[in-house]
Structure formats: C-alpha cells, structure tokens
Amino acid sequence: MILLTALLCAPGRAAEPLRLGLLHTLSPAPLYIAQARGYFRDEGIDLTFRFFNAAQPIAAAAVAGDIDVGVTALTGGFFNLAEKGTLKIIGGALHEEKGYQGSAILASDKAFDAGLTSVDKLPGHSFAITQYGSSFHYMVGRIAEARGFDIKTVTLRPVQQVANMVAAVTSGQVDATIAIASVAKPLAAAGQAHILAWAGDLMPYQITAVFTTPAMIAGRPDVLRHFAAAYQRGVADYRAAFLRLDAAGHPVVDAATDAAIALLTRYVFTGDPDARRKILDGVGYYDKGGALDVVDVLNQLRWFKAQGLVKGDADPATMIDTQFLPTQ
C-alpha cells in the first residue's frame, strides 16, 4: 500500500481518474470538503463530480459505466439492480441519528389544527411521498413499524418531486410529509407546517450510501481504497465542523464550522446571502469514518421485499462489500 501511494502521488505521474455520481444537494457535504481541501488529489485521484437530479439515475449510471462510484439513497430501484449483481454498497453516508435533526415529519397547518399532533395519529391521514419504492416510502413504513400501526392505514400520495411534497403540505392538499431540516424549520417558524417528530429520534436509518460496481472492485480496488481514505478525511472534517455538541446538546459553531461553510458554498447555495443559515439548518449526521449501518441496509431490503417492490431472492450479503470502509 505504501508503494502504491508513492507511485500514485509521485511528481509527474498522472492521477487516477474517478467519476463520482451524486445529487447536487448539501447531503454529500463531506465529499465536497474532501475535494475542496485536496484530499483526493493527495491520494493520487483526479475526482470528477457528476451531478444528477434524482437517486435512481445515479444507480443506473453506475451500471451503464458512466460513473465509477455513486452516493445516493437506497431505493427499491437500487435494490432491484443490486439483486442482479450489478451494484455493491461499500460505505455509509447520510444517516438518521437520535439527537440530530435530519428529516422532519411535517403536518399541514390544517391537519394539525384538526388533531394530527403526533406521528401516532398518522393513521387515517394522507402522506405525500415522491413515489412508491422511494426512500420516503421506506421511512413512512419504518415509522409505522416503530409506532405500531399499519402503513395501509395511511393514504400515500406519490407526487414525484420533493418540492411537490412540501407544496402539498403547505397548501393543505395532504396532511403530512417528510422534509429535511433546512426546509422544515423555516416552514414551522412561519406557521406554514408543524414538526411532529424527527426521524432520527424514531429509528436509525442509513439514508444514503456509497456504492460501486463489481467490475470496479475487481479491476481497481486500490483506487477505491485511496478514494475511501480521502472520503474518511472529509467525513472527519465534517464531523468536527458540524456534529460536535455542547453540554446542553446544542451544536458547537466556531471557526472550524465557518471554514467548512466557506468550502461548501463553492458547491451549494453559491451566492445565496442566506447560505450560512441554510447549511447550519440542513447538515445531517455522518457516522465516524463513513461507517455503514449494515443492519439498517438489510432492514431496508427486507422491507422493500415485504412490500413487493424488490422481486429477487439474492443473498443480501452479496450486495455489500465491507473491505473499503468500516461498519457500525
């Protein structure tokens, strides 16, 4: 490994190209930090971001060979591809964690006034998701399991886009939905919706994960190891900037936080005068070292299969490769 690092980073030697597929949102923040601080370059990698507008196209791009590594939500569509042996999950990314405000369960003002004041009261109400098989669908299902009610008692309304989910709640067309903190908090402050609970307080959840293809693992494993090393440095910086809590459980905001925000605005909220607040409201939890919550990934697959959204019968262990990044 020492020899490979020396060769990859030797003066005059071309860096190894690596194409990373991701959403152009705040959620992959540690990767932005690692790129901005040159951690991938230090590992001899010439990393290129390939931005997408939805999760499923990222997985499809990896299968097609258009990207080498991806980071996105684990959906029913993702698992259907992984069941065919075309994708491998190699690490963790955004994670719902107790005590950290990631995704909020929101109630419309109309529904809240009519009695929808807790997640236990969701049965009999409508709930906006993007589509069946999405991460939002899974989250509602797991919330139902956690609170002891049947998801069939909730009327799911697929509205295709996250923006439509939020609009449906603020307009009162549906009773509830899920929104990230940077969206949920301003809505609640403006009296346009009500936060019933934070998903991380109800259940652990590996929202997004790092994945690649079996061909990449077989053909370029050392490049993936160097990618993982740079990614872990980015995660460490991100945790130091955003995930420290004081004695009262409040986030610590200091010079390290502001330095990280300055890097992130190269990629998201660029030129937005309210960027600092949006980033502080929207940062999510990452486990130390980019660790993968294997138990939850297997729970996700179990749940999607139970809903008939994943059809295969492949061994779940074949979809995960733990040689590059740690697990919980």
Tell me: do 158 and 296 sit in the same domain.
no
Kindly report the backbone phi and psi dihedral angles of residue 206, in degrees, each rounded to the nearest multiple of 5, phi listed first: -85, 90
Counting Cα atoms < 13 Å in the Cβ hemisphere of 324 gives 29
Give per-residue pLDDT as tens, 136-146: 999 999 999 99
In a domain, 140, yes or no: yes
72 located within any domain: yes
Coil, strand or helix: which one is 138?
A: helix
Residue labelled with tokens 């507008």: 53
pLDDT for the residue 2: 47
Nearest Cα to Cα of residue 238 among 185, 287, 180: 287
**What CA dihedral angle connects 82, 87, 92 and 95, to 10 degrees?**
-40
Domain-ending residue, one of 140, 170, 203: 203
CA distance 45 to 19: 10
Same domain, 162 and 237: no
Strand bridging mode 103-108 / 193-198: antiparallel
Rounded CA separation 139/105 (Å)? 10
What the block records as the tokens of 326 is 């740690």
Residue 301 resides in a domain: yes
Classify strands 69-73 and 208-212 as parallel, antiparallel or unpaired: antiparallel
The total domain count for the chain is 2
User: Looking at the structure, do residues 25 and 165 belong to the same domain, yes or no?
Assistant: no
CATH code: domain of residue 122: 3.40.190.10
Report the alpha-carbon distance of residue 325 to residue 267 in Å, rounded: 25
Tell me how far apart the alpha carbons of residues 266 and 277 are, in angstroms, rounded to a whole number: 15
The answer as to whether 324 is a domain residue is no
Domain's final residue, options 185, 203, 221 = 203
Q: Is residue 327 part of a domain?
A: no
- Asked whether residue 107 is assigned to any structural domain, the reply reads yes
Q: What is the pLDDT of residue 3?
A: 46
Same domain, 113 and 197: yes
Find the domain containing 127 and state its range: 103-203
Q: For residue 43, give both structure tokens.
A: 């590992």
Same domain, 253 and 300: yes
Q: Which residues of the chain have pLDDT under 50?
A: 1-3, 6-7
Q: What is the pLDDT of residues 52-109, one digit of tens each?
A: 988 889 999 999 999 999 999 999 999 999 999 999 999 999 999 988 888 999 999 9
Token code pair at residue 96: 């719902």
User: Are 183 and 240 contained in the same domain?
Assistant: no
- Residues 194 and 256 occupy one common structural domain: no
Tell which of 157, 176, 203 closes a domain. Answer: 203
Same domain for 164 and 34: no
How much is the pLDDT for 124?
Answer: 97
Domain identity same for 150 and 25: no
Please tell me the number of Cα atoms within 13 Å of 114 on its side-chain side: 13
Considering the domain architecture, whether residues 92 and 223 belong to the same structural domain is answered as yes
Q: What is the CA radius of gyration of the chain?
A: 20
| Residue 169 belongs to some domain of the structure | yes
Q: Are residues 295 and 263 both part of a single domain?
A: yes
Task: Compute the distance between CA of residue 115 and CA of residue 229 in angstroms, rounded to an integer.
Answer: 49
Residue 212 and residue 179 in one domain: no
Give the predicted TM-score (pTM) of the model. Answer: 0.90
Identify whether 326 is part of a domain.
Answer: no
